[in-house]
Amino acid sequence: MNTLPSYLFAPTGKDKFKEYLQKVDVSKNKTFILMDTNTKKQCLDKFVTDFPELQNADYIVVRNGEQFKTIESCQLIWKNLTDNYADRSDLLVNLGGGVITDMGSFAASVFKRGMQFCNVPTSLLAMIDAAIGGKTGVDFMGLKK
Ligand SMILES: NC(=O)c1ccc[n+]([C@@H]2O[C@H](COP(=O)([O-])OP(=O)(O)OC[C@H]3O[C@@H](n4cnc5c(N)ncnc54)[C@H](O)[C@@H]3O)[C@@H](O)[C@H]2O)c1
């Protein structure tokens, strides 16, 4: 039986992303890949195989689910970046659904007044909506919006 991979890049998208990685110079700057437990399991291997430029990236993994789109998870992300001496020119790649793209973009935008980041959406909702348009954030005390 044929099954779809959990992570897909349209061929032109793949080329564009490779160009982007060259532009942000991942050979000189550090790269961090933020994932949740599911996208680590389902998407990471193929992603790094497709983009060997990222094989030395550090991983930051948070638990999956809306209940973890919180400031506490951001603190975990910031601690991980700090412990690994990240600075503004380094890159955070958000590999996941809308929770990861919302939270990762927010965390990157305030880390040392803003580090580089990009979204690699892995759910349909993130591909068509959440990862587009620049709205970012986390839930506060269980509240959205
Ligand atoms: N910023 C915006 O404009 C905007 C717009 C719409 C939604 N959102 C936000 O997006 C979130 C919802 O997005 P979502 O539905 O992607 O939620 P999600 O990120 O929680 O993903 C849903 C589940 O699918 C899993 N998953 C994601 N990609 C996978 C893959 N390729 N293979 C296997 N499992 C995978 C995740 O681990 C999670 O368990 C909400 O927090 C919402 O507020 C933001």
CATH number at residue 61: 3.40.50.1970
Distance of alpha carbon 143 from its chain centroid, rounded?
A: 23
State how many domains the chain has. Answer: 1
**pLDDT value of position 11:** 75
Residue 40 in any domain: the answer is no
Name residues contacting ligand 1 (CB within 6 A).
6-7, 36, 38-39, 42-43, 64-66, 69, 96-100, 102, 122-123, 125-126, 129-130, 133, 135, 144
Confidence (pLDDT) at 53: 95
- Burial class of residue 36 (count of CB atoms within 10 Å of its CB; 0-12, 13-18, 19+): buried
Range of the domain at 77: 45-122
Rounded to the nearest angstrom, the distance between the alpha carbon of 121 and the centre of ligand 1 is 8
Note the pLDDT of residue 29.
Answer: 94
Residue 10 has a pLDDT of 78
Q: Token pair of 63, please?
A: 């638990």
In whole angstroms, give the CA distance from residue 17 to residue 126: 17
Residues making up the chain, counted from first to last? 145
**Model pLDDT, residue 117:** 96
pLDDT at 116: 95
- 102 found inside a domain: yes
Among 3, 122, 128, 132, which is best to mutate for testing ligand 1, by the most ligand atoms less than 8 A from CB? 122
Tell me which of 47, 99, 120, 140 to substitute to probe ligand 1's pocket, judged by most ligand atoms within 8 Å of the beta carbon. 99
Does residue 107 fall inside a structural domain?
yes
Mean pLDDT, consecutive 10-residue segments, the chain of 145 residues?
Answer: 66 89 93 98 95 96 97 98 97 97 98 96 94 95 83
- Tell whether 145 is covered by a domain: no
Instruction: Give the residue carrying structure tokens 């990009």.
Output: 118
What is the structure's pLDDT at 4? 60
Q: Is residue 65 part of a domain?
A: yes
Identify whether 138 is part of a domain. no
On whether residue 18 sits in a domain, the answer given is: no
pLDDT on residue 132: 92
CB 111 within 8 A of CB 81: yes
Q: How far apart are CA 22 and CA 18, in angstroms?
A: 6
pTM, rounded to two decimals:
0.95
